[in-house]
C-alpha cells in the first residue's frame, strides 16, 4: 500500500485527523492497534460525562467518540480506519517512510503519530485456552445473542452495559463479579437488578470446553467457597484493558519524559513525521481533548503544506464545503 499520510492511532486525535485529512484531500490511512476506535475515552471511561469540550455543556466520552466518527464518515470511502493494526516500526527511505504493522508494510510520504497513552488490549480470561469462538472481549452483534444463555464477566461499565444490551435479546443473562459492588453508572446497576441474574462475589474457577467453545463455567463463591456450574452459549469478558506504553525509541524520534518533542507546527525531530494529542510534549502542554484536537488541525495543516507546497492549503471549512 502507498499513501501520502499514515495516521497512527484512532483515539480522538487520530479520528479527528482522519476527518481533517479528508477535508484537505490528503490520501491517508489510520492504523489502530486495538479492536475499537476512541482510545482512552472508549477503553477507560466511556460512560463518564466530560464538561470541557468546546460547544458541549456536558457529553459522555462514548458520545463524543461517536460524534467524531460521524464527522469522519463524510470521508470514509477515501480514508480507511484499519483496526488490529499495531505499528511496530517506522523506517526512513528515499520515498519517505516505511511503516510496518503486525500485518503489513505501508510506504508513505508523511506520518502523524497520534498514539496517545499507548496501545490498549483487553485483559483475558485466565482459565482454559487462549482463544474460544464464543468468548468475546468486545460486544458481539445482537443477532448472535438471540435466545442464548449469556454469561458476562466483570463489574465495570462495559460489563454492566453489555449485560443490559444482551438482556434485550437473550434467553438468560448472568453477570458474575468478584465483588458485591459494581464500578458502573448507578442508573445502569439499578436497572441490572431487575433484569439480569447477578452472581456476586464469585470468581471463575474453570471452564469446560468442546475444543472450540466454552460449554460450562465453574464458579466459586468468595466467602462460602460453594461451587456453581452454569451453561454457556456466549460469554462476554470485560475485565478492563492492559496498556502497553509507547516505545518511541524504535521510531528514533526525539522524546523527553512527557512524550514526543514537537515544534509549533507539530513536526517532530524527523522532518515528515508529525505528532498530535496526548503523545506530544512541549512547555505548557495540557493532555486534554481540546488541546489534542487543536494540535491535529495544526499538524494536518503543516502536512498539507509539505505535500502541496504550491497551493493555498488553509481555506476555512465554511468556505470549502458546499452542500
Nearer to ligand FAD, 46 or 236 (CB): 46
CA–CA gap between residue 152 and residue 210 (Å, rounded): 20
Site for ligand FAD in 166-225 (CB under 6 A): none
Find the shortest distance in angstroms from Cβ 11 to ligand FAD: 2
Does residue 292 belong to the site contacting ligand FAD (CB under 6 A)? yes
Tell me the closest approach of the beta carbon of residue 45 to ligand FAD, in angstroms: 4
3-state DSSP helix/strand/coil % of the chain, to nearest 5: 25, 30, 40
**Residues 57-86 close enough to bind ligand FAD by CB under 6 A:** 86
Q: Are 39 and 62 in contact (CB under 8 A)?
A: no
Please state the closest distance from residue 291 (CB atom) to ligand FAD, in A: 7
When asked if residue 120 is in the footprint of ligand FAD (CB under 6 A), the reply is: yes
- Please choose, out of 141-149, 173-181, 187-195, 287-295, the segment that lies near ligand FAD by the rule CB under 6 A: 287-295
Q: Does 122 bind ligand FAD (CB under 6 A)?
A: no
Q: Are 200 and 180 spatial neighbours (Cβ–Cβ below 8 Å)?
A: yes
- The minimum distance between CB 204 and ligand FAD, in angstroms, equals 27
| Burial of 314: CB neighbours in 10 Å, binned 0-12, 13-18, 19+ | exposed
Compute how many other C-beta atoms are within 10 angstroms of the C-beta atom of residue 64.
Answer: 21
160 belongs to the binding site for ligand FAD (CB under 6 A): no
Question: What is the rounded distance in angstroms from the CA atom of residue 18 to the CA atom of residue 7?
Answer: 8
Phi then psi for residue 62, to 5 deg, are: -70, -30
Applying CB under 6 A, which residues contact ligand FAD?
8-14, 31-34, 39-41, 44-45, 50, 52, 86-87, 114-120, 246, 277-278, 287-290, 292
Amino acid at each position: 500500500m502507498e499513501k501520502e499520510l499514515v495516521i497512527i492511532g484512532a483515539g480522538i486525535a487520530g479520528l479527528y485527523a482522519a476527518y481533517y485529512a479528508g477535508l484537505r484531500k490528503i490520501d491517508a490511512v489510520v492504523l489502530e492497534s486495538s479492536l475499537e476506535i476512541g482510545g482512552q475515552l472508549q477503553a477507560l471511561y466511556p460512560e463518564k460525562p466530560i464538561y470541557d469540550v468546546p460547544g458541549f455543556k456536558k457529553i459522555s466520552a462514548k458520545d463524543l467518540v461517536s460524534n467524531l466518527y460521524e464527522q469522519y464518515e463524510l470521508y470514509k470511502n477515501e480514508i480507511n480506519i484499519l483496526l488490529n493494526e499495531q505499528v511496530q516500526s517506522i523506517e526512513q527511505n528515499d520515498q519517505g517512510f516505511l511503516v510496518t504493522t503486525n500485518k503489513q508494510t505501508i510506504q508513505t510520504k508523511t506520518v502523524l503519530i497520534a498514539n496517545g497513552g499507548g496501545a490498549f488490549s483487553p485483559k483475558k480470561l485466565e482459565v482454559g485456552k487462549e482463544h474460544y469462538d464464543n468468548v468475546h472481549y468486545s460486544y458481539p452483534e445482537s443477532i448472535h445473542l438471540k435466545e442464548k444463555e449469556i454469561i458476562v464477566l466483570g463489574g465495570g461499565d462495559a460489563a454492566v452495559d453489555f449485560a443490559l444490551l444482551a438482556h434485550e435479546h437473550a434467553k438468560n443473562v448472568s453477570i458474575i463479579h468478584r465483588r458485591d459492588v459494581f464500578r458502573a453508572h448507578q442508573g445502569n446497576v439499578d436497572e441490572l437488578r431487575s433484569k439480569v441474574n447477578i452472581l456476586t462475589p464469585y470468581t471463575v474457577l474453570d471452564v469446560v470446553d468442546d475444543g472450540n467453545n466454552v460449554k460450562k463455567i465453574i464458579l466459586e463463591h468468595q466467602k462460602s467457597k460453594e461451587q456453581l456450574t452454569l451453561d454457556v452459549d456466549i460469554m462476554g469478558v470485560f475485565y478492563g484493558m492492559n496498556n502497553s506504553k509507547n516505545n518511541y525509541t524504535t521510531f528514533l524520534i526525539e522524546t523527553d519524559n512527557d512524550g514526543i518533542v514537537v515544534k509549533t507546527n507539530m513536526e517532530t525531530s524527523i522532518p515528515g513525521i508529525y505528532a498530535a494529542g496526548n503523545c506530544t510534549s512541549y512547555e505548557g502542554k495540557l493532555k486534554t481533548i481540546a488541546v489534542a484536537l487543536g494540535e491535529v488541525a495544526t499538524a494536518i495543516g503543516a502536512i498539507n503544506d509539505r505535500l502541496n507546497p504550491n497551493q493555498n492549503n488553509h481555506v476555512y471549512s465554511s468556505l470549502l464545503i458546499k452542500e
